[in-house]
Structure 1
Amino acid sequence: MIRHEAALAQIVSAAAARSADVSDETVALSDALGRVSAAALDSREDIPPFDNCAMDGYALAAAKAARAPARLPVLGVVMAGDAPRCAVRTGGAWRVMTGAALPAGCDAVVPVERARALDGGAAVEILDCVEPGDYVRARGRDFAAGARICPSGTRLGARHLLALAAAGVARVPVRRRPRVALIATGRELVAPGKDLGPGRVRDASSSYLAAAVSQLGADFEFHGIVADEPARFGALFEKVAARGVDVLLTTGAVSMGDADFIPAALDALGAEILFHKVALRPGKPILFARLENGPLIFGLPGNPVSTVVGLRFFVEPCLRALLGRPAESPLRARLSADVTKPEGLRCFFKARRLDDGRVEILPGQASFQIHSLLSADCWAVLPEDGDALKADAEIDAYPLAESPA
């Protein structure tokens, strides 16, 4: 049994060695949401592309209203979308709308609330003194041409698409979506909607993994439930691996029971098991293996919260490394109360943030208990060493799931 840090290092190393298999492609900006950039993305042009007016009002040379009140003739009207007024006309003010190009010779805008129209709009009285740059959005003030919008390895969210669209980027180089397959195991499992029957339990984890893996920006394939039959599992495993998937997940059959056949089955299929059992709770029986010229393999424990922890803290880092994304950094938090834990195990406990910034460990931490997951908004990570932590002890914490970019 190894510690979480050592297990994570092996996962990241194995995934980084396979990252070249996740090739690049170029997609339309409208299809880039949730994808991972394959190159640094820079602005193609200045944003704003010209000096423009931040308010409805009057554009003028600030020197003309250095002393207020000041009366000036109105030289014309400039609307948003009008071609810039390039000929310099001095001695007056332009009636301008928000977003209009700043007329030549002007260096400030007076909001309409600080001016009074005279002579039916032919003139204006500026009521307050004006400084150069007032209510002007200068060319390139947001992004200059060539400015970095996001580095390579960024998971693109709506905010990134906003910036890229503003910068004139229409197509984006991204990493191919990793392909993740799942084979669930267990003769006791019944899909939702089917009769449960005596001695049977619902297959909850497969529905969770389908949703969660897709949210991580990967393509997901579910290949059904296999009873505890190594031969059937082996045949299906070889069929799925031949499809060229990047990561293959299994659920169940990785512990020490008579029906826990996955480790022996993987060994028989030629997989190299890099670790089996990690010093953590929940999810200690987790397994990680690789198949030469085949997928990386995670044997996730069958209890539902163990599956959730396995995905969050083992599979997600693998997908990050495959996509060339940086490692996730934890938040730091303080415990709201004393807590006990098993000595020698790193604990990923369901928790929620309180108004005072501390985190509360929730009741119901057993690996079969889903209800407390619904009340949680973060994971409190308690270190291996020791069997108790005091209130206000500082710990690592992670969001319950990776947030969208």
Structure 2
Amino acid sequence: MSGDLAYEEALAIVLREARALAVEQRAPQDAQGLVLAEAVASEVDLPPFDNSAMDGFALRAAGETLAAGREFDVRGSQVAGDAAATAGEGAWEIMTGARMPDGLDSVVPIERVEILARTGEARPSRIRLAADVRPGDNVRLRGEDIASGAPAVPAGRRIGANELMVLASLGVPSIAVRRRVRVAIINTGRELVDDPAQPLASGEIRNSNGPYLAARVEAAGAEVVLRETVTDEPEVFLAVLERALAAGADVVLSTGAVSMGRHDFVPDALRGVGADILFHKVRIRPGRPLLFARLASGALFFGLPGNPASGAVGFRFFTEAALRAMSGMAPERPLRMPLAAAWSKRAELRFHLKGLVELVDGGLRARVLKGQESFKVLPLLVANAWIVVPAESMALEAGQMVDVYGPGHLEAPMIGEVLE
């Protein structure tokens, strides 16, 4: 497809091509960071039995409030792990989490009773209530958290510590998840130097895109299977591309050589190996020369511009959208918050701005940072968010609502220091 595309058109093409990956069965503890492909419904009640929420004494209220001052003999005791027991009249000493004896329905905390007598082993044998006890007080009912047959963890949920706690509580031995997306990174440019100990010759620069993208890929929940830096010869680039596919890459990222210069060889090199270039150039800033293709192998290819901020935007707003879709996650939604200060632009493009989310007077606001030029990397140390301004919005007033995205699709903006 030739010509500049609007952001929405380009993103729609990416999402159309980004097909969900294969499903595999894994033990929950081996699935952390992966996305659930099939919803998990509970096969048990949680809690599995009525149990005490407090250390105290179990009583039978039978639908009526037990008034303060009433006295009860202590007929038995129940601790966590004890099997079912049947109670008659009187109270039972009970510990937090212990199964309620059959016939009893309420618990009075130990601090709300007066112990009147003890056995020879110093166990309470008679108590007096120091407060009213209502039916059901301090009892966790069977299935109160999750009932048998109820949905527990929905499909599309990324497995983390909270999900593992629920799955472990339910005794789920295996879950269906999408495998991790495999990504290869190719940085192009004979001027790039990877070794930080190597002195720079005239015209050379350090390769910052490689480490940045590798870290962003991991933070996005994917896996880097290859990372190489190549010169500007098409045959060298294609040899690395072949190695990337041999390594099992589902997505290939390249940086540089996608603009309109004499040495921007990537589009023609891809066409030469049968790639279908689906778009080249998007009406965004930074990152307008972005290229997206499907390789003959079926892998997706993102040709990111070489300027650091341009590549960062292309990865954040296009590659990460593909990674979400391939992992089985729903499309991302931005936050909305007021702009801290007025801001304007000259070009009718969709802008992606390094931003800072601040907490001011109990509310959040988004501030556009200085240093928006695509070659500048230092502002990324201050930024905790991306602020997006639609193409049609040329001037924004302070307080106007804007779309705000976290640094990555799995990361919410962290609150930053107020800049005045």
TM-score, length basis structure 2: 0.91
Aligned equivalents of 1:294 and 1:237: distance in 2? 13
Contact 2:332/2:409, CA 8 A, preserved across alignment: no
Q: Partner of 1:157 in structure 2?
A: 160
| Cα offsets for 1:68-115 (capped at 9, x unmatched) | 211100112111111121x2312x111111101111111111011111
The match for 2:252 among 240, 248, 273 is 248
**SS class of match (1:259):** coil
Structure 2 residue identity aligned to 1:98? T
Contact 1:244/1:294, CA 8 A, preserved across alignment: no
Q: Partner of 1:109 in structure 2?
A: 107
Aligned equivalents of 1:36 and 1:74: distance in 2? 51
Aligned equivalents of 1:342 and 1:254: distance in 2? 24
Give the direction of change, closer, same or farther, for the CA distance of 1:304–1:196 in structure 2 (3 Å limit): farther
Contact 1:347/1:381, CA 8 A, preserved across alignment: yes
| Cα offsets for 1:214-243 (capped at 9, x unmatched) | 222222123411101112112222332344
**SS class of match (1:368):** coil
Aligned equivalents of 1:65 and 1:144: distance in 2? 28
Aligned equivalents of 2:224 and 2:251: distance in 1? 10
Question: Does 2:192 correspond to 1:189?
Answer: yes
Aligned residue runs from structure 1 range 316-355, under 5 A? 316-355=320-359
Give the direction of change, closer, same or farther, for the CA distance of 1:337–1:388 in structure 2 (3 Å limit): same
Q: Partner of 1:44 in structure 2?
A: 43
| Cα offsets for 1:153-196 (capped at 9, x unmatched) | 22111111111111111222111112111111011111142314
Aligned equivalents of 2:226 and 2:248: distance in 1? 14
Structure 1 residue 396: Cα displacement: 1.0
Aligned residue runs from structure 1 range 231-242, under 5 A? 231-242=235-246
Aligned equivalents of 1:216 and 1:147: distance in 2? 31
Contact 2:186/2:227, CA 8 A, preserved across alignment: yes
Q: Partner of 2:177 in structure 1?
A: 174
Structure 1 residue identity aligned to 2:381? L
| Cα offsets for 1:40-70 (capped at 9, x unmatched) | 1122211111000001111101258622211
Q: Partner of 2:371 in structure 1?
A: 364
Structure 2 residue identity aligned to 1:159? N
Q: Partner of 1:119 in structure 2?
A: 117
Aligned equivalents of 1:342 and 1:241: distance in 2? 41
Aligned equivalents of 1:140 and 1:390: distance in 2? 52
Contact 1:50/1:140, CA 8 A, preserved across alignment: yes
Aligned equivalents of 2:206 and 2:199: distance in 1? 7
Aligned equivalents of 1:166 and 1:248: distance in 2? 39
Q: Partner of 1:309 in structure 2?
A: 313
Structure 1 ranges of 4+ moved more than 3 A:
none
Aligned equivalents of 2:374 and 2:15: distance in 1? 25
Aligned equivalents of 1:219 and 1:237: distance in 2? 17
The match for 2:396 among 389, 395, 399 is 389
Contact 1:380/1:397, CA 8 A, preserved across alignment: yes
Contact 1:79/1:96, CA 8 A, preserved across alignment: yes
Structure 1 residue identity aligned to 2:125? A
Q: Partner of 2:121 in structure 1?
A: none
Q: Partner of 2:418 in structure 1?
A: none
Structure 2 residue identity aligned to 1:286? L
Aligned equivalents of 1:57 and 1:225: distance in 2? 67
More deviation, 50-59/339-348: 339-348
Structure 2 residue identity aligned to 1:245? A
Structure 1 residue identity aligned to 2:116? L
Structure 1 residue 29: Cα displacement: 1.4
Aligned equivalents of 1:223 and 1:110: distance in 2? 63
Q: Partner of 2:151 in structure 1?
A: 148
Aligned equivalents of 2:78 and 2:263: distance in 1? 78
**SS class of match (1:144):** coil
Give the direction of change, closer, same or farther, for the CA distance of 1:281–1:41 in structure 2 (3 Å limit): same
Give ranges in structure 1 of 5+ residues lacking alignment: none
Structure 2 residue identity aligned to 1:153? G
Aligned equivalents of 1:196 and 1:250: distance in 2? 25
Give ranges in structure 2 of 5+ residues lacking alignment: 119-123, 413-420
Aligned equivalents of 1:280 and 1:273: distance in 2? 18
Q: Partner of 2:59 in structure 1?
A: 60
Aligned equivalents of 1:49 and 1:188: distance in 2? 65
Structure 2 residue identity aligned to 1:5? E
Structure 1 residue 128: Cα displacement: 1.1
Structure 1 residue 286: Cα displacement: 0.7
Contact 2:285/2:351, CA 8 A, preserved across alignment: yes
Question: Does 2:291 correspond to 1:269?
Answer: no
More deviation, 394-403/137-146: 394-403
Structure 1 residue identity aligned to 2:108? V
Q: Partner of 1:27 in structure 2?
A: 26
**SS class of match (2:244):** helix
Contact 2:57/2:109, CA 8 A, preserved across alignment: yes
Aligned equivalents of 2:219 and 2:380: distance in 1? 18
**SS class of match (2:13):** helix
The match for 1:402 among 405, 409, 420 is 409
Aligned equivalents of 2:147 and 2:316: distance in 1? 38
Contact 2:77/2:93, CA 8 A, preserved across alignment: yes
TM-score, length basis structure 1: 0.95
